[in-house]
Structure 1
Amino acid sequence: MPNSLAFLTMTLWPFVTLAMYLLLPARTAVIWSILAGYLLLPAGMTLDLPGVPGMTKQNVPAVFGYFFASAMLGRLIPLVPKSLAGRILVGLLLLGPVFTVVTNGDPVYIGNDTVLPGLRPYDAASMIVNQFGFLSIWALSREVLSDRTALRQLVTAFVIAFLWYSLPMLYEVRMSPQLHTQIYGFFPHSFQQMMRQGGFRPIVFLEHGLWIAILTSMAVMLAVVLARDAAPGRKLRWYAAAFYLLIVLVLCKSIAALLYAVLLMPMLLLFSGRRLAQIAMLMGVLVLTYPLLRSFDVIPTDSLVETAAEYSAERAQSLEFRFVNEDMLLSRAMQRPLFGWGGWGRNSVYDPQTGENISTTDGLWIIAMGYGGYAGFIGQFGLLLLPIFMLTGAYRRTGQEVSVFAAGVAVVLAVNLVDLLPNATITPVTWLFSGAMLGYLENLRRGEVGTGTAPAAAVPASARPRFSGLVGQPVAGPRTLV
């Protein structure tokens, strides 16, 4: 049960977000209001207010930040991007729930006693409003973090955030994951799942140890990207940060997250921007075609389980459990493949005799498929993958080679999306990076931003203008909302 401090922090965070927008440059406010909100607010808690959907740590900073930023700009920040593909994908994401409700008006009968209700128009509105939380992050970053300097600031802030976050992580590795309970009065997940390899893996204020592991893995790789992009005198500090965070990642005791970093770090160190862009695109194709590959049994699940068994019988059992449940849930999803089953547990698999739910949903892809069908899956994953597929074409229009920095960020984003196949580790960070990359590439295609390789850090502080709100004009007086 959350304590009073948990409710207080959730209630006060909109005011903290407002203070950031009033006192900080717009880019800094967008980045740190979302990063700090996600890393510090209590996980697994919903603040229910009359007449509005439940507010969580994922959507409180984004929704309020979206309206604060729009007020400063004097217009609503568009949720729909400029590219045709982006418009279609946003349309799928926002209109798909309407068709899901239309095709799911019938109840689902389970056994003799249980009935899952049919969906109503209210459910469509609720589903669309829930999408707005993540879309607002994506729209904010696409609007505000849409040039190379802003993208580098985002990457730098993320790595610095995890350098600081590593301190409570190391504390929990040694003392056990207790900070969430000690500060907010409850534990957001199963404590037993935080015990691994004779010790503990950290969770701090996130949803699960897997979440903190994949984000740490991303921070390791992004530190390498920053090192390659930095001025000669600053490279060593970022390589040192990457090495330190790699040690922290090992202590997170997540094999998949560690493999991502170990396999991709040499590529991020050595490959050209064009080659890195191709790697990111290949991972993107895998993610987008995964439901079809699983439907046609192309993925060698048995071989993957056997390979995992050579390392650990426990890991092999866990992987096999995931694949078995994916098969059950995919079979259920294919009964309504276009728009899915919607909510209320209608997408789950139940024992026909007892009515007990016998399925477990782990990967975000199968959740999206069961909930919204191919329309929901393509809308969500296509939108996140859009900047990865745009990267090479956007640079080709400029007549220059793909930037190693932009391609490196694309690879790290692709890694996060690949991890959404076995896990549901989507976070505000995922949408933040996808939106910033898309905004940068959209402007690049129109020739509105440069492609130079000089890092932002090389610009002296005295030469950087101060800004008020989002209008990008030098400020002489106080920042205001009007």
Structure 2
Amino acid sequence: MIMSFIFAWLFLPVAMFKVPGIPAYTKMSAACYGILIATFIFNPKRISSFKFSWVDIPMVLWCTSPFISSVVNDLGAYDGFSTTQVQIVTWGVPYFLGRIYLDSFAGLRQLAVGLFLGGLIYIPFCWYESRTFSSLHILVYGLNTGRDASQSIRYGGYRPQVFLEHGLMLGVWLMTACLMGITFWRTGVKRVLNQPIVLLLSFLLITFIIARSTGAYTLFLLGLVILFVAWQFRTAILLWILILGICWYLYLGVTGTFPNKQVIDTLSQTFDAERVASVKFRFDNEEILGARARENVMFGWGGFARNRVFDEYGKDISITDSLWIIVFGLQGAYGLATLTASILLPVISFCVRYPAKLWLRPMVAPAATLAVCITLYMFDSVLNAMVNPIFMLAAGGLATVSVKPKQATTAQINGQMAAIS
């Protein structure tokens, strides 16, 4: 299951095929359909092993929120069912697969290993694109992902993308892989694929640097500090602060009280003008999109671009760069709250069940780093709209180990981690 998800994410094309009666066929829906069908045929006990829990409630509410928005806006039940199907495939199925497959610390560790190896696999492809200033996606598949060519040039070089939707998405992927590698090194792993982990991690960090993603750099440093404090001082206080900060930011965004100008002035003192201009552009668009969303604040405007802002000539003057503002406009405060809870509640329940004093245990450490990375992904969604189902896969696994009876996980926590091979 892990190999299928990671292979689909890393190597299938960024393409969409519309099939009547089901959501659009994409790289990740292909993985979801394939894994579900294989599970029903070859391992149906996995399906029957699922037990609904309180931690699953936000995901159910989030997956059904498009139907409510469609009905409230008189768009019809058919539109509601169609958009709900898309939501289920994009978010619900990866979460469900994580719940039934990554149901132990061993399973979450295997996912962490897969993420680290996935980062290593991408090293030569990133170096090739950065060196040749060319797109492997166009070279292999003959398809353009729709990215503006100007966004590929950063800091005097070419920002690689490989087979992902955007260079920003690649940066977050490599950031996650680097944090996983550091976690394995910190918990005593010496060799990976019969090679010294320090050597492989060094190459991965260099590749992460040439990814030229300022946002991913910031997320990486933040994640590293959170893990260092947790490991050294046995407290997850910084992770809790980040979670509260995300929720506070979203509250300010929904109410329209976020101090955009003050934040831009502060950033101008640290970052270059190009990066600050990019953040300002996002804030400006969020301001007009937020005003539009607040006209129908509870359940949003539904589909058909009714959440966008147009001038008197019918021209769209708004750009939706952030996942949170898209959700706020489409499904309102209800949808935004359920999405946030779907992503962060598994992390919160994990941190309550397994405090930071356990995060250096070999079996717990990968799961704890996954919890940090999921939170960093939610933080990234404040500024970007990079939907990555693999984080929901991890969230499903965290939810499972968080609600399992205590005696079912004690042996794993006290166990020793085998070498990666």
3-state SS, counterpart of residue 334 of structure 1 = helix
Percent of pairs with identical residues: 28
**Distance in 1 between the 2:87 and 2:48 partners?**
15
Matched, 1:245 2:204: yes
Tell me what 1:350 maps to.
310
Give the counterpart letter for 1:93 in structure 2. W
Assess if the C-alpha contact under 8 Å between 1:224 and 1:269 holds in 2: no
Task: Choose the corresponding residue for 2:71, options 102, 111, 114.
Answer: 102
* 1:269 positional shift: 3.9
Q: Which deviations, in whole Å up to 9, do the C-alpha atoms of 1:226-265 show, x marking residues without a partner?
A: 2222356779944443332222121111111112213432
**Distance in 2 between the 1:457 and 1:36 partners?**
24
Q: Quickly say closer, same or farther: Cα 1:48–1:372, change in 2 above 3 A.
A: same
Q: Quickly say closer, same or farther: Cα 1:225–1:76, change in 2 above 3 A.
A: closer
Tell me what 1:314 maps to.
274
**Distance in 1 between the 2:232 and 2:403 partners?**
18
Q: Quickly say closer, same or farther: Cα 1:446–1:318, change in 2 above 3 A.
A: same
**Distance in 1 between the 2:314 and 2:178 partners?**
45
**Distance in 2 between the 1:75 and 1:383 partners?**
25
Assess if the C-alpha contact under 8 Å between 1:141 and 1:433 holds in 2: yes
Assess if the C-alpha contact under 8 Å between 1:277 and 1:391 holds in 2: no
Assess if the C-alpha contact under 8 Å between 1:279 and 1:411 holds in 2: no
Assess if the C-alpha contact under 8 Å between 2:120 and 2:200 holds in 1: yes
Tell me what 1:93 maps to.
62
Assess if the C-alpha contact under 8 Å between 1:177 and 1:194 holds in 2: no
Q: Quickly say closer, same or farther: Cα 1:237–1:301, change in 2 above 3 A.
A: farther
Q: In the TM superposition, what are the counterparts of 1:60-209 in structure 2 within 5 Å?
A: 60-74=30-44, 77=47, 82-87=52-57, 89-105=58-74, 119-133=75-89, 134-188=91-145, 189-209=147-167
Give the counterpart letter for 1:84 in structure 2. W
Tell me what 1:290 maps to.
249
Q: Which deviations, in whole Å up to 9, do the C-alpha atoms of 1:336-392 show, x marking residues without a partner?
A: 1111111110001111x1111111001101111111112211222211111211023
Matched, 1:40 2:43: no
Mean alpha-carbon deviation: is it higher for 301-310 or for 216-225? 301-310
Matched, 1:254 2:254: no
Q: In the TM superposition, what are the counterparts of 1:306-455 in structure 2 within 5 Å?
A: 306-310=265-269, 311-351=271-311, 353-395=312-354, 401-404=357-360, 405=365, 406-443=367-404, 445=406, 447-448=408-409, 450-455=411-416
Give the counterpart letter for 1:287 in structure 2. I
**Distance in 1 between the 2:415 and 2:407 partners?**
21
Give the counterpart letter for 1:333 in structure 2. A
**Distance in 2 between the 1:239 and 1:124 partners?**
51
Q: Quickly say closer, same or farther: Cα 1:232–1:316, change in 2 above 3 A.
A: closer
**Distance in 2 between the 1:186 and 1:79 partners?**
41
**Distance in 1 between the 2:94 and 2:53 partners?**
18
TM-score (norm 2): 0.90
Assess if the C-alpha contact under 8 Å between 2:226 and 2:238 holds in 1: no
TM-score (norm 1): 0.79
Q: Which is higher, the Rg of structure 1 or of structure 2?
A: 1
**Distance in 2 between the 1:236 and 1:276 partners?**
33
**Distance in 1 between the 2:38 and 2:200 partners?**
34
**Distance in 1 between the 2:176 and 2:42 partners?**
32
Q: Quickly say closer, same or farther: Cα 1:39–1:403, change in 2 above 3 A.
A: same
Tell me what 1:17 maps to.
none
Provide structure 1 residue ranges, at least 5 long, that are not aligned to the other structure: 1-29, 106-118, 462-482
Q: Quickly say closer, same or farther: Cα 1:449–1:275, change in 2 above 3 A.
A: closer
**Distance in 1 between the 2:310 and 2:256 partners?**
23
Assess if the C-alpha contact under 8 Å between 1:162 and 1:219 holds in 2: yes
Assess if the C-alpha contact under 8 Å between 1:82 and 1:442 holds in 2: no
Give the counterpart letter for 1:315 in structure 2. R
**Distance in 2 between the 1:421 and 1:436 partners?**
23
Q: Which deviations, in whole Å up to 9, do the C-alpha atoms of 1:112-157 show, x marking residues without a partner?
A: xxxxxxx121111111110121211111111111111111111011
Assess if the C-alpha contact under 8 Å between 1:223 and 1:242 holds in 2: yes
Give the counterpart letter for 2:43 in structure 1. L
Q: Quickly say closer, same or farther: Cα 1:213–1:177, change in 2 above 3 A.
A: farther
Q: Which deviations, in whole Å up to 9, do the C-alpha atoms of 1:283-342 show, x marking residues without a partner?
A: 222223322122456544323322333431111111111101111111111111111111
**Distance in 2 between the 1:60 and 1:175 partners?**
31
**Distance in 2 between the 1:438 and 1:392 partners?**
11
**Distance in 2 between the 1:124 and 1:79 partners?**
30
Could you say what the CA RMSD is over the residues aligned between the two structures, in angstroms?
2.6
3-state SS, counterpart of residue 387 of structure 2 = coil
Q: Which deviations, in whole Å up to 9, do the C-alpha atoms of 1:49-78 show, x marking residues without a partner?
A: 233221111211012212321333336837
Task: Choose the corresponding residue for 2:21, options 39, 51, 64.
Answer: 51
3-state SS, counterpart of residue 457 of structure 1 = coil
3-state SS, counterpart of residue 340 of structure 1 = coil
Q: Quickly say closer, same or farther: Cα 1:363–1:269, change in 2 above 3 A.
A: same
Q: Quickly say closer, same or farther: Cα 1:147–1:103, change in 2 above 3 A.
A: same
3-state SS, counterpart of residue 355 of structure 1 = coil
Q: How many residues align?
A: 412
